[in-house]
Structure 1
Amino acid sequence: MHGEYKTPGGKLVVVDLEVYTGRLTRVQVSGDFFLEPEEALDWINAALEGLPATSDEAEIAQTVRQATAHAEMIGFSPEAIAVAVKRALSS
Protein backbone atom coordinates (compact mmCIF):
# COMPACT_ATOMS: atom_id res chain seq x y z
CA MET A 1 0.00 0.00 0.00
CA HIS A 2 1.23 3.48 -0.81
CA GLY A 3 0.24 6.87 0.58
CA GLU A 4 1.55 10.38 0.02
CA TYR A 5 1.00 13.74 1.67
CA LYS A 6 2.42 17.11 0.65
CA THR A 7 2.80 19.37 3.69
CA PRO A 8 1.65 23.01 3.58
CA GLY A 9 5.34 23.97 3.27
CA GLY A 10 5.68 21.77 0.19
CA LYS A 11 7.60 18.78 1.60
CA LEU A 12 6.48 15.36 0.43
CA VAL A 13 5.92 12.52 2.92
CA VAL A 14 5.58 9.02 1.45
CA VAL A 15 4.59 5.84 3.30
CA ASP A 16 4.70 2.34 1.89
CA LEU A 17 3.37 -0.47 4.06
CA GLU A 18 1.57 -3.76 4.21
CA VAL A 19 -1.06 -5.03 6.61
CA TYR A 20 -0.86 -8.50 8.10
CA THR A 21 -3.40 -9.78 10.62
CA GLY A 22 -4.70 -6.26 11.13
CA ARG A 23 -1.30 -4.69 11.92
CA LEU A 24 1.10 -2.51 9.95
CA THR A 25 4.15 -4.33 8.57
CA ARG A 26 7.05 -3.54 6.26
CA VAL A 27 6.58 0.17 6.97
CA GLN A 28 8.86 2.51 5.02
CA VAL A 29 8.61 6.28 5.46
CA SER A 30 10.43 8.46 2.94
CA GLY A 31 10.18 11.86 1.30
CA ASP A 32 11.98 15.12 0.64
CA PHE A 33 12.01 16.26 4.27
CA PHE A 34 14.94 16.56 6.69
CA LEU A 35 15.41 14.57 9.86
CA GLU A 36 18.22 14.75 12.41
CA PRO A 37 19.73 12.39 13.34
CA GLU A 38 19.36 10.29 10.18
CA GLU A 39 18.68 7.12 12.17
CA ALA A 40 15.48 8.72 13.46
CA LEU A 41 13.84 7.48 10.26
CA ASP A 42 14.55 3.93 11.46
CA TRP A 43 12.97 4.87 14.81
CA ILE A 44 9.80 6.01 13.03
CA ASN A 45 9.57 2.90 10.86
CA ALA A 46 10.13 0.64 13.89
CA ALA A 47 7.52 2.50 15.95
CA LEU A 48 4.89 2.09 13.25
CA GLU A 49 5.59 -1.63 12.82
CA GLY A 50 2.86 -3.63 14.51
CA LEU A 51 0.54 -0.67 15.03
CA PRO A 52 -3.11 -1.67 14.55
CA ALA A 53 -4.32 -0.80 11.05
CA THR A 54 -7.43 0.66 12.72
CA SER A 55 -5.40 3.34 14.52
CA ASP A 56 -6.65 6.87 13.90
CA GLU A 57 -4.46 9.80 12.84
CA ALA A 58 -4.05 11.04 16.41
CA GLU A 59 -2.77 7.64 17.59
CA ILE A 60 -0.37 7.35 14.67
CA ALA A 61 0.95 10.89 15.20
CA GLN A 62 1.45 10.22 18.93
CA THR A 63 3.40 7.04 18.13
CA VAL A 64 5.66 9.00 15.76
CA ARG A 65 6.01 11.86 18.28
CA GLN A 66 7.21 9.41 20.94
CA ALA A 67 9.66 7.77 18.52
CA THR A 68 11.14 11.14 17.54
CA ALA A 69 11.34 12.71 21.00
CA HIS A 70 15.12 13.08 20.55
CA ALA A 71 15.05 14.07 16.89
CA GLU A 72 14.47 17.21 14.87
CA MET A 73 11.84 16.97 12.13
CA ILE A 74 12.37 19.69 9.52
CA GLY A 75 9.67 20.38 6.95
CA PHE A 76 7.20 17.79 8.20
CA SER A 77 5.49 16.58 11.36
CA PRO A 78 4.13 13.47 13.05
CA GLU A 79 0.70 14.53 11.78
CA ALA A 80 1.98 14.54 8.18
CA ILE A 81 3.18 10.96 8.58
CA ALA A 82 -0.20 10.01 10.07
CA VAL A 83 -2.03 11.44 7.04
CA ALA A 84 0.26 9.51 4.66
CA VAL A 85 -0.29 6.28 6.65
CA LYS A 86 -4.08 6.69 6.55
CA ARG A 87 -3.93 7.41 2.81
CA ALA A 88 -1.89 4.25 2.27
CA LEU A 89 -4.42 2.26 4.26
CA SER A 90 -7.29 3.62 2.18
CA SER A 91 -5.57 2.90 -1.16
Structure 2
Amino acid sequence: MHGEYKMPGGKLVVVDLEVRDGRLAGVQVSGDFFLEPDSALDAINRALEGQPQDADEAALAAAVQRGLGSDVMMYGLSAQAIAIAVRRAVDGDAA
Protein backbone atom coordinates (compact mmCIF):
# COMPACT_ATOMS: atom_id res chain seq x y z
CA MET A 1 0.00 0.00 0.00
CA HIS A 2 1.20 3.50 -0.78
CA GLY A 3 0.17 6.90 0.58
CA GLU A 4 1.45 10.42 0.08
CA TYR A 5 0.83 13.77 1.77
CA LYS A 6 2.35 17.18 1.10
CA MET A 7 2.33 19.12 4.32
CA PRO A 8 1.15 22.74 3.80
CA GLY A 9 4.30 24.84 3.74
CA GLY A 10 6.28 21.66 4.21
CA LYS A 11 7.57 18.69 2.34
CA LEU A 12 6.25 15.51 0.76
CA VAL A 13 5.75 12.50 3.04
CA VAL A 14 5.52 9.06 1.44
CA VAL A 15 4.50 5.88 3.27
CA ASP A 16 4.67 2.35 1.93
CA LEU A 17 3.30 -0.46 4.06
CA GLU A 18 1.44 -3.74 4.22
CA VAL A 19 -1.36 -4.86 6.48
CA ARG A 20 -1.04 -8.26 8.10
CA ASP A 21 -3.64 -9.61 10.50
CA GLY A 22 -5.15 -6.14 10.91
CA ARG A 23 -1.82 -4.50 11.81
CA LEU A 24 0.61 -2.25 9.96
CA ALA A 25 3.68 -4.14 8.74
CA GLY A 26 6.77 -3.38 6.69
CA VAL A 27 6.27 0.35 7.25
CA GLN A 28 8.67 2.56 5.28
CA VAL A 29 8.41 6.35 5.61
CA SER A 30 10.29 8.49 3.09
CA GLY A 31 10.05 11.86 1.39
CA ASP A 32 11.86 15.13 0.83
CA PHE A 33 11.93 16.19 4.48
CA PHE A 34 14.90 16.31 6.87
CA LEU A 35 15.37 14.62 10.25
CA GLU A 36 18.10 14.90 12.85
CA PRO A 37 19.49 12.52 13.87
CA ASP A 38 19.23 10.28 10.80
CA SER A 39 18.25 7.35 13.05
CA ALA A 40 14.92 9.10 13.72
CA LEU A 41 13.53 7.65 10.50
CA ASP A 42 14.06 4.11 11.80
CA ALA A 43 12.38 5.13 15.06
CA ILE A 44 9.34 6.42 13.14
CA ASN A 45 9.07 3.20 11.14
CA ARG A 46 9.34 1.12 14.34
CA ALA A 47 6.71 3.26 16.09
CA LEU A 48 4.20 2.60 13.30
CA GLU A 49 5.00 -1.09 12.92
CA GLY A 50 2.25 -3.18 14.53
CA GLN A 51 -0.24 -0.33 14.96
CA PRO A 52 -3.85 -1.34 14.30
CA GLN A 53 -4.99 -0.99 10.70
CA ASP A 54 -7.98 1.07 11.83
CA ALA A 55 -6.03 3.45 14.09
CA ASP A 56 -7.07 7.04 13.42
CA GLU A 57 -4.72 9.93 12.61
CA ALA A 58 -4.53 11.07 16.23
CA ALA A 59 -3.51 7.60 17.45
CA LEU A 60 -0.91 7.21 14.71
CA ALA A 61 0.56 10.68 15.35
CA ALA A 62 0.74 9.90 19.07
CA ALA A 63 2.57 6.63 18.33
CA VAL A 64 5.11 8.52 16.21
CA GLN A 65 5.65 11.13 18.95
CA ARG A 66 6.14 8.41 21.58
CA GLY A 67 8.68 6.69 19.34
CA LEU A 68 10.85 9.77 18.92
CA GLY A 69 13.44 10.97 21.38
CA SER A 70 13.41 14.51 22.69
CA ASP A 71 16.56 15.23 20.66
CA VAL A 72 14.81 14.67 17.30
CA MET A 73 14.41 17.65 15.01
CA MET A 74 11.95 17.45 12.11
CA TYR A 75 12.19 19.92 9.23
CA GLY A 76 9.23 20.12 6.85
CA LEU A 77 7.57 17.21 8.63
CA SER A 78 5.25 16.52 11.55
CA ALA A 79 3.84 13.45 13.28
CA GLN A 80 0.41 14.50 12.01
CA ALA A 81 1.65 14.60 8.38
CA ILE A 82 3.05 11.09 8.74
CA ALA A 83 -0.26 9.90 10.19
CA ILE A 84 -2.19 11.39 7.27
CA ALA A 85 0.09 9.60 4.77
CA VAL A 86 -0.39 6.32 6.67
CA ARG A 87 -4.19 6.68 6.60
CA ARG A 88 -4.07 7.46 2.88
CA ALA A 89 -2.03 4.30 2.29
CA VAL A 90 -4.39 2.12 4.28
CA ASP A 91 -7.52 3.73 2.84
CA GLY A 92 -6.24 3.45 -0.74
CA ASP A 93 -6.11 7.24 -1.22
CA ALA A 94 -2.53 7.67 -2.41
CA ALA A 95 -2.69 11.43 -2.95
Whether these two folds match at TM > 0.5 is yes
1:84 corresponding residue in structure 2: 85
Identity %: 63
Secondary structure class of the residue paired with 2:25:
strand
1:44-83 Cα distance to aligned partner (Å, 9 max, x none): 0011110000100000000011112331111110000000
Aligned-residue CA RMSD (Å) = 0.7
Secondary structure class of the residue paired with 1:46:
helix
Structure 1 stretches of 5 or more lacking a match? none
The answer (yes or no) to whether the contact 2:10–2:77 under 8 Å persists in 1 is: no
Task: Return the letter of the residue paired with 2:19.
Answer: V
1:7-48 Cα distance to aligned partner (Å, 9 max, x none): 111400000000000000000000000000000000000111
1:57 corresponding residue in structure 2: 57
Give, in whole Å, the separation in 1 of the partners of 2:91 and 2:33.
23
1:20 corresponding residue in structure 2: 20
Structure 2 stretches of 5 or more lacking a match? none
Task: Return the letter of the residue paired with 1:88.
Answer: A
